[in-house]
Amino acid sequence: MPDAPGLPPLTDQFSQAYWEAAREGTLLIQRCAACGRYQFYPRGHCAGCFAPDPEWVPASGRGRLHTYTVVRRTPNAEFAADCPYVLAIVELDEGPRITARITGDADGLACDRRVHVVFTPAGQAGVLPNFARDRG
């Protein structure tokens, strides 16, 4: 993935933990202490039961490719140089789904293929969790 220009995430006090962990090679998700539900994207409350302050937990980083598309054209100039790229929704083994890219090209990709997290330096965007297909 090219380094620039991209569209960096605008972090806030709450999300800083997530992006700092990504820089250190950990994918964080959240788990609600009250109902046990895992959630992504991170929030200040559980979107299942509204209990406050779900805890940050490291995800296994393993999951399945739920769906994907190869973006060949974009009206957004900041991503034009990236085309084509694989935009995907990955279902983590813990349950939640996450938006990311699949590294490499789309050859041999299929829904439900096993994938694992990789951490991609992305210029101003810092480090973005992405996914690569498992071998075999």
Partner 1 sequence: MPASWSGQVAIVGAYESPRRRAPGVHPFAIQAECAAGALADAGLEPADVDGLATAASFPAEGAREMAVAEIAEYLGLHPRWMDGTDIGGAAPVSHVGHAVAAITAGLADVVLVTYAACGYSWPHGAPDYLTHAHGPGQWELPYGPTTVATYALAARRHMHDYGTTAEDLAAIAVQCRANAAANPDARYTAPISVDDVLASPVIADPLHRLDCCVVTDSGGAFVLTSARRARSMTARPAYVLGFGEALGQVSMSQMWPYTATAAAASGARAFATAGLSPAEIDCAQLYDSFTITVLLALEDLGFCGKGEGGKFASAGELAPGGRLPINTDGGGLSSNHPGRRGALAVVEAVRQLRGSSPGVRLDRPRTVLVHGMGGSLSTSATLILGA
Q: Does 21 sit near partner 1 (CB under 8 A)?
A: no
Shortest separation between residue 65's beta carbon and partner 1, angstroms: 10
Q: Kindly give, in sequence order, each residue whose CB lies less than 8 Å from that of residue 29, ignoring residues fewer than 6 positions away.
A: 38, 39, 40, 42, 56, 57, 58, 59, 92, 94, 96
3-class DSSP state of 72: coil
Helix (H, G, I), strand (E, B) or coil at 54: coil
Of 87, 61, 55, whose CA–CA distance to 72 is shortest?
87
Does the protein bind partner 1 through residue 8 (CB under 8 A)? yes
Token output for 107:
């050859």
Binds partner 1 by CB under 8 A, chosen from 17, 41, 50, 55: 41
**Of 41 and 50, which CB lies nearer to partner 1 in the complex structure?**
41
List the interface residues with partner 1, window 88-117 (CB under 8 A).
Answer: 88-89, 96-101, 106, 110-112
Stretch that binds partner 1, among 30-38, 54-62, 81-89 (CB under 8 A): 81-89
Q: Is 16 in the site for partner 1 (CB under 8 A)?
A: no
The DSSP element (H or E) to which 80 belongs, if any, is helix 77-80
With contacts defined by CB under 8 A, how many residues of the chain interact with partner 1? 42
Binding of residue 68 to partner 1 (CB under 8 A): yes
**Strand pairing partners for 119?**
129
Q: Say whether residue 76 binds partner 1 (CB under 8 A).
A: yes
Rounded CA separation 36/66 (Å): 23
Q: Which residues in this chain contact partner 1 in the complex, by CB under 8 A?
A: 6-12, 15, 40-42, 66-76, 78-79, 82, 85, 87-89, 96-101, 106, 110-112, 122, 125, 128
